[in-house]
Chain A
Amino acid sequence: MTLGSIREQLYGTAPPRGLYCAFPLGRPLGVPNDPTFQHRVLARAFGLLEATSPTVVDYGETITDDPEEVLVCPLPLRHDPEAHPAVDEARGLRAAYERAVKKFGNRTGAVRHLDADAVPDAIAAFIRVAEGTPWKEAGIPGIPARAAQDIRGYYEMAAMEIAGHTPAAWAGYRWYRDQTETGTVIKSAQKAMKDSGTKEALWRFLLPLDAQVT
Chain B
Amino acid sequence: MRSDLRLNFDPATAKEGIVTDTYIKTGAARTECPTFEDPAFVTPKPLVSSKVAIVTSASLHHEDDDDFAPVDTGFRVLERGRRDIVVGHWSPNFDATGVSADLNVVFPIDRLEEMAADGHIGSVSDIHLAVAGNQFDLAGIRLDGGPAAAALLQEHEVDVVLLTPV
Co-complex (A, B):
yes
Please report the C-alpha to C-alpha distance between residue A206 and residue B97 in the assembled complex, in whole angstroms.
17
B40 at the interface (CB under 8 A from A): yes
B40: A residues at CB distance < 8 A: 16
Minimum C-beta distance from A69 to chain B (A): 10
A77 at the interface (CB under 8 A from B): no
Q: Which residue of B lies closest to A214 (CB)?
A: B11
Across the interface, do A13 and B35 meet the contact criterion of CB distance under 8 Å? Answer: yes
Across the interface, do B108 and A38 meet the contact criterion of CB distance under 8 Å? Answer: yes
Across the interface, do B23 and A170 meet the contact criterion of CB distance under 8 Å? Answer: no
Please report the C-alpha to C-alpha distance between residue A45 and residue B33 in the assembled complex, in whole angstroms.
22
A106 at the interface (CB under 8 A from B): yes
Minimum C-beta distance from B145 to chain A (A): 17
The answer to whether residues A172 and B33 also contact, given A2-B163, A16-B41, A104-B101 and a CB cut-off of 8 A, is: no
The answer to whether residues A149 and B19 also contact, given A30-B105, A108-B87 and a CB cut-off of 8 A, is: no
Across the interface, do B25 and A6 meet the contact criterion of CB distance under 8 Å? Answer: yes
A35: B residues at CB distance < 8 A: 104, 110-111, 114
Minimum C-beta distance from A22 to chain B (A): 9
Q: Which residue of A lies closest to B97 (CB)?
A: A172
Q: Which of A13, A153, A173 contacts B34 (CB 8 A)?
A: A13
The answer to whether residues A107 and B85 also contact, given A9-B28, A153-B96, A169-B98 and a CB cut-off of 8 A, is: yes
B152 at the interface (CB under 8 A from A): no
> What secondary structure prevails in chain A residues at the interface with B?
loop
B106 at the interface (CB under 8 A from A): yes
Across the interface, do A112 and B86 meet the contact criterion of CB distance under 8 Å? Answer: yes
B115 at the interface (CB under 8 A from A): yes
A210 at the interface (CB under 8 A from B): yes
Across the interface, do B162 and A3 meet the contact criterion of CB distance under 8 Å? Answer: yes
Across the interface, do B98 and A166 meet the contact criterion of CB distance under 8 Å? Answer: yes
Please report the C-alpha to C-alpha distance between residue A169 and residue B111 in the assembled complex, in whole angstroms.
21
Across the interface, do B106 and A26 meet the contact criterion of CB distance under 8 Å? Answer: yes
Minimum C-beta distance from A106 to chain B (A): 7
B102 at the interface (CB under 8 A from A): yes
How would residues 53 to 95 of chain B score, 1 for a CB under 8 Å from any chain A CB and 0 otherwise? 0000000000000010010000000000001111110111111
Interface, chain B (partner A; CB < 8 A): 9, 11, 14, 16-25, 27-31, 33-36, 39-44, 47, 67, 70, 83-88, 90-106, 108, 110-112, 114-115, 120-121, 160-166
- A-B contacts, 24 of them at CB < 8 A, read A1-B162, A5-B165, A13-B35, A16-B42, A25-B95, A26-B98, A29-B104, A29-B108, A29-B164, A46-B47, A49-B160, A53-B41, A64-B21, A106-B86, A108-B86, A108-B100, A145-B90, A166-B97, A166-B100, A206-B92, A209-B24, A209-B27, A210-B14, A210-B18
Interface, chain A (partner B; CB < 8 A): 1-9, 12-16, 24-33, 35, 38-39, 42, 45-46, 49, 52-54, 64-67, 100, 104-109, 111-112, 143, 145-146, 148-149, 152-153, 156-157, 160, 166-167, 169-174, 205-210, 212-213
